[in-house]
Structure 1
Amino acid sequence: MKLVSRYTDIAEQFAIADKPSPVGEPSLLLFNDAVAKQLSIDVASEQQAGVFSGNQLISNIAPVALGYSGHQFGHFSPRLGDGRAHLLGAVADQQGLLWDIQLKGSGATPFSRGGDGRCAIGPAIREYIMSEAMHALGVPTTRCLAVVATGETVYRQPPQRGAIVTRVASSHIRVGSFQYLATQGDVAGLKALADLAIERHYPHIQATGSERYLAFLSNVIEKQIELVVSWMRVGFIHGVMNTDNTLISGETIDYGPCAMMNHFDFETVFSSIDRQGRYAFGNQPNIANWNCARLAESLMPLISEDDEQAIALLNPLINSFAEQFNYAFTQMWAEKLGLDGNQDSDSELVAQLLALLKDQKLDYTNTFDAITESLQGNAEIPTTLIPWSKLWLQRTNSKSYEIMRKNNPKLIPRNHIIENILNDFVQSGQSATLSEYLKALQQPYQEQAIKTRYTEAKDDAHYKTFCGT
């Protein structure tokens, strides 16, 4: 695994050299062969536990902890940073694009703020399952390369087995990364970070001066819209959309208190720390818009030395978010329902369906799957939807089934199944279900013989998820 350095030339205290803390008895739990092949990662099997626990460094590239700020539930913290993660470096894929390799749960760093820097086994397995499921569902996401058990106890409530996740990302540049440099008044650092982000994620931007960074913000807005629309298409609730958990690449990161929606309701919240519903399923677009506004604030020094002029140039981009999102959101529903063209009445057709889903407490995934398969005579539409379906059928055509099948999964990572798997690992350090479940999740849009045991929707009215720290 040939590593190269990344982020160390952005600004002082942005990427702080720091080694992972050794663990007592590392053992490999999970290894993602597909990701390893994609990135030509060839660590020998007998070395994997040592390398991906941080016990064994196989490069002269110094691991670093990255600094960033963050609005956490709307409250600004100027100095957060990687409190329990070490970036080993980056590897190049076959196209020459760099991918970050980061250990999560690898010990305390200069940003730990008194924490132990460790990760319990449950959150580690959750991130592996969820990121692989999201990837298969076609949602932009970071991915997991490995999960290593540490052989040590992590003192949470209650104490749990420890684990380390190896995360792969096209970059770890967050909205909070720009806030971190802006808070320090580091204009040179802001420019260096923006230029790096453009080079990695938006190389088509060739403009110079302020136009370059306005184009950058515009592209980030587009990616955030694409991401949130993808989340809502499959019923995903991130649970903690802080600015430090918002990548400018438009990839999903930090699978802490995330969950999948069963019964449809825009107000669905599962996160135990989201007591006001700030990050509820239906509020995710508003938060993405808010986070993009925080990025715009951070970019002001790159737009103009005159704050009023900078605001005048940035505001139209932020104000365009709602219109862009509404267009993409409308298109998403049209694809989930296989609508033929666009008609003014389509919005009412969608609204009627969603109202029925909520009132009848129908499962989001299974209902759209049934609607899809009803076009082929392979499933029956729920009785309460039959009057609505007569209107819907008038808006379909011969291509509707194919379009709907690509947009409506049959299989999602069900909350209760994940919890059962996590409990297995907490209790015994392994799960007999995981291998089969991961395999099933790789084909979420296809009929599978084993599918039925994984598609049952259970009442999750009292289900709670928790931050993994």
Structure 2
Amino acid sequence: MTLPHALPPAPATETPTGWTHRFAGLGREFYTELRPTPLPAPYWVGRNPALARELGLRDDWMASDEALQAFTGNQLLPGMRPLASVYSGHQFGQWAGQLGDGRAILLGELAGTDGPQEIQLKGAGLTPYSRMGDGRAVLRSSIREFLCSEAMHALGIPTSRALCVTGSDQPVRREEIETAAVVTRVAPSFIRFGHFEHFSHSGQHAQLRTLADFVIDQFYPDCRALPGNVYANLLEAVSARTAEMVAQWQAVGFCHGVMNTDNMSILGLTIDYGPFQFLDAYNPRHICNHSDSAGRYRYMRQPGIAHWNLYCLGQALLPLMEDPQQALDALEPYKALFPAALQRRMGAKLGLGTVMAGDEALTEQLMALMAQDAVDFTLFWRRLSNAVAGFAEPGAGAAAASAAIEPVRDLFLQREAFDAWALQWRGRLQSQPGFDARLTQVLMLSTNPHVVLRNHLGEIAIQRAREGDFSALQRLQTALETPFTELPGHDDLADFPPDWAAHIEISCSS
């Protein structure tokens, strides 16, 4: 059995100390303290040594049985104070009432290089908020979250992260019998829009204020220095972060799949990786969640859904404001922030170092062509990045430019339409003062990834892991850690998806 990023076996060394518990300080109304439910005979599935080091966890300790037992939920380390938090939320547009951490248990915080980080076990057993669930996660979904958390981080997209995955042969019933797993998630905070909705809708306005003050003091201190209502300032700051995050999703072709308010981070992080997907063929109407029969969370609707969710957050914060107009005013900037953020990122993907009139139309024309021909999203942008090398200075010959763009042109059926667009794009590039083809290519190659976590790549890693072979997971993890770099021997991870990939169905079941 080959372990991902295998660390040398070693006896348990110095146990990590220094656990803190800021969230626990909010009060008993916010959570229930409980121990994780043990799993029999756990084993390592995947580990993230780089993140472990950021948290001050030594390599030899991460290789120990003590670490394995702790991150499976079988053993508490000194200083841990496990708890599950309560929240509510809107699910698929409908008020769902009380929800909460149904299978996630917060162990506490460790000091990371970027400040305190909450350490949470997902799949650690029943909690008072499990409702009809069993409190478990399965190997399939845990591997997907482990890989995607770190893939998004490497792409520069705000996200929760994943420290490790452990597995057990204990059976778990979903659509079929699967095996259990636990993923250790890491984030500065896992507070969601739904936490605010819970205390607002239940009339617990003192707790609502406590929660808002905590978030402001810990994560948005500038809100107190700004004029106006401090809680409206918080709403505006959260809106700005959310706009940037969703713009990054759209620019890389990422579909979240379940943008319920209880899955929206108050810090503007991508959290709760369930039925996510990176686009293969570009289809703005793509639905990645097999459970989303109405297409509420299709790719093209994500920006509008994010605004709708922010509106729900604004409603939840109204008891802390003097006038509802304060919330509406705080939400208004999103309408300009999101398209501006998206166009900046699309401009970078196109190699445009400046913003000019006509850039938005140029982008829209391209996306319409890509949608009509179902062009592979990631391959298109990478090939376009490499094509720039054939564009010399403004006087470059048409023949050289045509040869350079040919691999991109091959992705289209409507080639004359693409040729017309490419001519406009080349002219726009070369109109930039001091245009340098090589520097532009460097910009584009650092913006348009070579490899993303396509569904079929994850599926291959999962199937091998079910057989006890973690080498495919390790290889994919390595490539996703440097998504803009073309690693030797990894070209197959950046190729067209196989035909069977179109039939992969990802649902909310995990």
Bin of the TM-score, shorter chain as denominator length: over 0.9
Q: 1:107–1:48: structure 2 CA closer, same or farther, 3 Å change rule?
A: same
Give the match for residue 366 of structure 1: 379
Q: 55-64 or 159-168: which moved more? A: 55-64
Whole-angstrom distance in 2 between the partners of 1:290 and 1:422: 34
Q: 1:151–1:313: structure 2 CA closer, same or farther, 3 Å change rule?
A: same
Q: 1:203–1:41: structure 2 CA closer, same or farther, 3 Å change rule?
A: farther
Are the aligned partners of 1:340 and 1:395 in contact in 2 as well (CA < 8 Å)? no
Q: In the alignment, which of 87, 90, 99 is matched to residue 80 of structure 1?
A: 99
Q: In the alignment, which of 3, 11, 34 is matched to residue 50 of structure 2?
A: 34
2:443 maps to 1:403 = yes
Offset of residue 404 of structure 1? 1.7
Whole-angstrom distance in 2 between the partners of 1:195 and 1:250: 17
Whole-angstrom distance in 1 between the partners of 2:227 and 2:214: 15
Give the match for residue 106 of structure 1: 124
Give the match for residue 171 of structure 1: 189
* Equivalent residue letter for 2:442: E
Offset of residue 340 of structure 1? 4.9
Offset of residue 41 of structure 1? 2.3
Whole-angstrom distance in 2 between the partners of 1:318 and 1:206: 18
Higher Cα Rg: structure 1 or 2?
2
1:324-335 mapped onto 2 (5 Å cutoff): 324-335=337-348
Are the aligned partners of 1:411 and 1:451 in contact in 2 as well (CA < 8 Å)? no
SS of the residue 2:146 aligns to: helix
Q: In the alignment, which of 286, 289, 295 is matched to residue 313 of structure 2?
A: 295
Offset of residue 94 of structure 1? 4.1
Give the match for residue 130 of structure 1: 148
Give the match for residue 273 of structure 1: 291
Deviations along 1:4-49, one digit per CA (max 9) or x if unpaired, are 1232232433111011011111122212111110011244522111
SS of the residue 1:293 aligns to: helix
2:40 maps to 1:24 = yes
Unpaired segments ≥5 residues, structure 2: 1-15, 391-403, 430-434
2:360 maps to 1:352 = no
Are the aligned partners of 2:144 and 2:458 in contact in 1 as well (CA < 8 Å)? yes
SS of the residue 1:375 aligns to: helix
Offset of residue 356 of structure 1? 1.3
* Equivalent residue letter for 1:80: L
TM-score by length of 2: 0.87
SS of the residue 1:109 aligns to: coil
2:295 maps to 1:282 = no
Whole-angstrom distance in 2 between the partners of 1:420 and 1:318: 42
Are the aligned partners of 1:30 and 1:148 in contact in 2 as well (CA < 8 Å)? yes
Q: In the alignment, which of 315, 320, 331 is matched to residue 328 of structure 2?
A: 315
Are the aligned partners of 1:119 and 1:468 in contact in 2 as well (CA < 8 Å)? no
Give the match for residue 476 of structure 2: 437
Give the match for residue 496 of structure 2: 457
Give the match for residue 244 of structure 2: 226
Give the match for residue 230 of structure 2: 212
Q: In the alignment, which of 59, 68, 87 is matched to residue 68 of structure 1?
A: 87
Whole-angstrom distance in 2 between the partners of 1:209 and 1:360: 50
Deviations along 1:152-177, one digit per CA (max 9) or x if unpaired, are 11122211111111110110110001
Deviations along 1:378-424, one digit per CA (max 9) or x if unpaired, are 77321423331111011113243233222111111121111111122
* Equivalent residue letter for 2:420: P
Offset of residue 208 of structure 1? 7.9
Q: In the alignment, which of 124, 133, 144 is matched to residue 115 of structure 1?
A: 133
Q: 1:386–1:451: structure 2 CA closer, same or farther, 3 Å change rule?
A: farther
Offset of residue 202 of structure 1? 1.8
Are the aligned partners of 2:254 and 2:276 in contact in 1 as well (CA < 8 Å)? yes
1:176-255 mapped onto 2 (5 Å cutoff): 176-207=194-225, 211-255=229-273
Q: In the alignment, which of 460, 465, 477 is matched to residue 425 of structure 1?
A: 465
Are the aligned partners of 1:26 and 1:49 in contact in 2 as well (CA < 8 Å)? yes
Q: 381-390 or 122-131: which moved more? A: 381-390
Deviations along 1:339-371, one digit per CA (max 9) or x if unpaired, are 253332222211111111111221111111111
Unpaired segments ≥5 residues, structure 1: none
SS of the residue 1:296 aligns to: helix
Are the aligned partners of 2:39 and 2:168 in contact in 1 as well (CA < 8 Å)? yes
Are the aligned partners of 2:462 and 2:473 in contact in 1 as well (CA < 8 Å)? no
Deviations along 1:149-203, one digit per CA (max 9) or x if unpaired, are 1231112221111111111011011000101111221222112211221233223
Offset of residue 241 of structure 1? 0.5
2:161 maps to 1:143 = yes
SS of the residue 1:407 aligns to: coil
2:423 maps to 1:390 = yes
RMSD: 1.8
Whole-angstrom distance in 2 between the partners of 1:438 and 1:24: 26
2:89 maps to 1:56 = no
Deviations along 1:230-289, one digit per CA (max 9) or x if unpaired, are 111111100000001000111111111001101111111121111111111111000110
SS of the residue 1:394 aligns to: helix
Give the match for residue 466 of structure 1: 507
Whole-angstrom distance in 2 between the partners of 1:358 and 1:159: 38
Whole-angstrom distance in 2 between the partners of 1:457 and 1:76: 40
Whole-angstrom distance in 2 between the partners of 1:48 and 1:70: 34
Whole-angstrom distance in 1 between the partners of 2:103 and 2:486: 40
SS of the residue 2:282 aligns to: coil
Offset of residue 210 of structure 1? 5.9
Whole-angstrom distance in 2 between the partners of 1:186 and 1:430: 50
Identity within the alignment, % = 35
Whole-angstrom distance in 1 between the partners of 2:248 and 2:222: 23
Offset of residue 209 of structure 1? 9.3
2:485 maps to 1:446 = yes
